[in-house]
Amino acid sequence: MSPISCHSSAAPAMKKIFSVSDFIAFGERYGIDYRFPALPQYTQSSPVLHGDIEEIALPGGICITRSDVHVLQPYETTSRHSSPLYMLVVLEGNVALAVNEQTFLLSAGMAFCSQLSEQQTIRAHHGADSKLRTLSLGMYPDGGWRERLPVSLADEWENSAASARVWQVPEFLLSGLRYAQQPGPHTASRQLMLEGIMLQLLGYALNLCQPAKQKRGLPVTGEYQRLELIRRLLEQTPEKAYTLNELARRGGNESK
């Protein structure tokens, strides 16, 4: 499981060995407890991962973490911090997750999302000698993330009271995610692309969180109509680099 918050605006990708001491530092910084079941008497220099990890902090307290690693030693994580949204997409490998009493197994092409709190914690297990490529997204709990999303989308997520959910990511989103997974400089265009993919994933997750009966009963005007316009626009032209402000403006104008 990747950290849910970032400490810098553009931490470059690093191909290196990550040891127990690195994980201890991660845990103190991000509020994650780590366990190493195969290393009962480990030293701080014991290797755990080898590969690339890139952290990108977007405005509004939104953090994206890109990981392309090989797991050398099995390890387990437990979240301790709160977050209005944590999302994990697996592009290669497998991740076992548990949220309270629910258990999930994610394989390539699957996504997971949940809110985090003291009452709702995430535990993850990563097996040894496995390859993992993931993209994770986390939001700070201070509310600044709301300024980066269309108001209707932010309200819809907060009001959804969404429990943990796993789903298959559609191919049109996977294509963008694979492209974003490629390491590269932290440019404005790359940031816009990542923001757009994040918005599409969140919109898709919201659609899945709504019960079928509720979907049938929703009115065709107002907030739902604006969300539907944005969803169709992203689905039909996913290759365009929309900004969040542009999507909010177009959703508002076209629904009038």
What is the reported pTM?
Answer: 0.72
Provide the residue ranges of all domains of the chain, joining segments of one domain with +: 16-209, 222-250
CA distances from 219 to 16, 153, 235, 253 (A): 52, 16, 21, 18
Domain 16-209, CATH class in plain words:
mainly beta
Strands in 130-139's sheet, in edge-to-edge order, are: 11-19, 47-58, 62-71, 130-139, 83-92, 110-116, 165-168
Residue-level pLDDT at 218: 45
Supply the pLDDT for residue 110: 94
pLDDT at 116: 84
pLDDT at 11: 46
Residue 217: what pLDDT?
Answer: 45
Q: What is the pLDDT of residue 8?
A: 44
Residue 104 confidence (pLDDT): 92
**Would you state the pLDDT for residue 122?**
92
CA distance 209 to 119: 20
At residue 206, the pLDDT reads: 74
Confidence at residue 107, expressed as pLDDT on a 0 to 100 scale: 94
Residues of the chain with pLDDT under 50: 2-5, 7-12, 212-221, 255-256
State how far the Cα of 74 lies from the Cα of 132, in Å rounded to an integer: 12
Q: Which secondary-structure segment (H or E) carries 198?
A: helix 188-209
- Residue of 82, 61, 63, 229 lying closest to 153 (CA atoms): 229
Tell me the chain's radius of gyration from C-alpha atoms.
18
What is the per-residue pLDDT for 179? 78
Measured in whole angstroms, the distance separating CA 110 from the mean position of its chain's CA atoms is 12
240: how many CB neighbours lie within 10 A of its CB? Answer: 10
